[in-house]
Amino acid sequence: MQNLEHRAGATDVLPLNECRVIGILNGPELFGHERANITVFESLRSCGAEVTVGVTQFANESSTIRAVERLGFETFRMPFGSQWSKRIFLQQPAWLLKNAARVFRCSRVLGQQISRLRATHIHIGNPLVYSYIAPLLFSRPEIQLVYRMGDEPPVGLNRLIWRACLTRADRVVANSEFVRQSIRSACRTRTDIQLIYNTVSEAGGSPANTKEGKIPFRVLYVGQISRHKGILEFVNAAITLCKRNYDCCFDIVGGSRYTLKMERLISEQIFNSGFSSRIRMHGHVDDPGGYYRDATLLVVPSLFEEPAANVVLEAKAYGVPAIVFPSGGLPELIVEGVTGWVCKYKSEVALVEQLERCLADPDSCHKMSGNCVEEAIERFGSDRFARLWSMIYHNAEFALTSSGQGRQAAWRS
C-alpha cells in the first residue's frame, strides 16, 4: 500500500464538495492548538468543503472567535464546561453536576446544528470537546468523526475519555511523529494514525531573500510567557550573553491575561539586569510577521514535551533558522545544521553554548535563510497540507507514513 504522503504529493487536491464539516474549538484564547485547527478548516474550505465552527459561549472577549469570524466562517455557540478533574470535583461537587448538565446541552446544540447543516463530519482537536458531545456522537454513528491530535495522551480520568474518543473516531491525525508514537504507546489497539505536520504560509520570504548583513544579531522568542515554554531559560541566557558583551539583542513576543504574573516577573528581571534596551518584551501581537522579518534566529526552549511548534514553521517562511530544545516533536521540524540546531540538553547552559556558537559564526545563520524558506515550501507548504487533509476527508485509503527523521533525510537528499 502506498504511503499517503507520497500519493498526496503526486496527485491534486481531492474535491470535498460533498463534505459539510462542523469544526469545534472550545478554547477562547488563540493559542497554537486553535490556530492549527483553524488552518485545517481553511484548507478544507479551499478544497470545496462547507465548514461551520462551534465555539465556546462562555467568553466575552475571545480571540479565537474573532479570528474564526474574521476569516468568514459561520459560527455557533456551545456551552462547554470545565476540565474533568477529580480534585476539583471533590472540593466542589456541584461542578460535577454542572459539567454533566453541559454534556447534554452541548450534545443537544450540536444535534440541532447537524440537522440544520446536514453535516457529514465533525472535526475536533482534543478529548475535552469529545466529552461534551459523546452522547450525540454515539446516537449518530453515520457522522464521521475526525480527531486531530496535537498533544500527548492525557492522564487520570481524562485518559479514559481520550480512549473513548479514539474508539469513536473514524480518522485520527497526529501533528508529529512524537505524538503518533505516544498514541501507539498509550493505546496499542489504534494503529491507523495518520501523520500530517502543521503548515505555514509561504508569504514570508523567498530563497533569494536572505538575512545576510542584518545588524545587530537579533534573537527572537515567540510564544506563551510560561515556565513550561522555557521563557526563564531564554531570558537568563539573554542576560548572560549581554553580560559577555556580545553584539546582539533579544525580542520577546507573547502574552495573555493568564500569564500577567509571569510577565511582570520577567519584566522586573530584565529591568534589574540593566539590559532593558537590548532585551525587550513586546506583549501579545496578532501578527508577529515584522519580528520574524527582522530576526536572525528564533529560539524555542520548551521544557515540556512540545508536540510541535507553529512558530518554528512561521520562522522558516521568513528565512529564520531556529534553535530548539530536544523536546517532543521539535527536533522533527529541524534539519540539524541546515535549517537550525537542536540543543544537547534542555538547559540554560546548553542554550547559551549554542547561541555563542551562532554568534561566533553569524554567517552560518544568514546562509540558512534560503534553506529555511525552501523547507517551508517543500515539507510544510499549504499545497501539500491541503492535499493530505483532502485525502483524510475523502476517506481515501491510507497507510502509516514514514518517520519525521526519514522525511528530513529525503528532503536534503
Q: What is the percentage of the chain residues whose pLDDT exceeds 70?
A: 89
Summarize the confidence of residues 380-397 as an average pLDDT: 88
Q: Do residues 369 and 227 share a domain?
A: yes
Q: Do residues 229 and 149 share a domain?
A: no
Higher pLDDT, 169 or 212: 169
Confidence band for 223, pLDDT divided at 50, 70 and 90: very high
Question: Which backbone phi and psi does 412 adopt, to 5 degrees?
Answer: -95, -5
Which range, of 263-267, 282-286, 313-317, 322-326, averages the lowest pLDDT? 282-286
Confidence band for 398, pLDDT divided at 50, 70 and 90: very low
Beta-carbon contacts of residue 406 (< 8 Å; ≥ 6 apart) = none
Residue 206 lies in a domain: no
pLDDT of 308 above 70: yes
Q: How far is Cα 171 from Cα 148, in angstroms, rounded to an integer?
A: 8
Higher pLDDT, 216 or 38: 38
Q: Is the peptide bond before 216 cis (omega within 30 degrees of 0)?
A: yes
Q: Do residues 279 and 363 share a domain?
A: yes
- The per-residue pLDDT for 396 is 56
Average pLDDT, the chain: 89
Residue type, 407: R
Residues 44 and 51: beta-carbon distance below 8 Å:
yes
- Split into its structural domains, the chain has a count of 2
Which residue in 380, 230, 218, 195 sits closest to 301, CA to CA?
230
Confidence band for 222, pLDDT divided at 50, 70 and 90: very high
CATH code of the domain covering residue 260: 3.40.50.2000
- The per-residue pLDDT for 216 is 79
pLDDT of 402 above 70: no
- The per-residue pLDDT for 287 is 87
Summarize the confidence of residues 157-183 as an average pLDDT: 95
Q: Do residues 259 and 325 share a domain?
A: yes
**Lateral strand order in the sheet of 279-281:** 279-281, 248-253, 217-222, 297-300, 322-324, 340-342
- The per-residue pLDDT for 409 is 45
pLDDT digits (tens, 9 = 90+) for 104-153: 999 999 999 999 999 999 999 999 999 999 999 999 999 999 999 999 99
Q: Do residues 235 and 367 share a domain?
A: yes
Summarize the confidence of residues 387-407 as an average pLDDT: 64
Confidence band for 412, pLDDT divided at 50, 70 and 90: low
pLDDT of 360 above 80: yes
Residues 105 and 79: beta-carbon distance below 8 Å:
yes
Which residue in 355, 365, 354 sits closest to 316, CA to CA?
365
Q: Angle CA(29)–CA(297)–CA(304) in degrees, nearest 5?
A: 50
Residue 207 has a CB neighbour count (10 Å cut-off) of 13
Confidence band for 3, pLDDT divided at 50, 70 and 90: very low
Summarize the confidence of residues 224-241 as an average pLDDT: 97
Q: Do residues 108 and 182 share a domain?
A: yes
- The per-residue pLDDT for 99 is 93
Q: Do residues 390 and 354 share a domain?
A: no
Q: Do residues 240 and 107 share a domain?
A: no
- Residue 177 structural domain: 4-199+381-404
Q: Do residues 112 and 90 share a domain?
A: yes
Q: Do residues 400 and 373 share a domain?
A: no
Confidence band for 257, pLDDT divided at 50, 70 and 90: confident
Summarize the confidence of residues 170-194 as an average pLDDT: 94
Residues forming beta bridges with residue 123, ordered by sequence position = 23, 146
Residue 68 lies in a domain: yes
pLDDT digits (tens, 9 = 90+) for 72-109: 999 999 999 998 888 888 888 888 999 999 999 999 99
Q: Do residues 150 and 188 share a domain?
A: yes
Q: Do residues 223 and 335 share a domain?
A: yes
Which residue in 232, 284, 234, 281 sits closest to 258, CA to CA?
284
**Cα dihedral value 393, 394, 398, 403, nearest 10:** -40
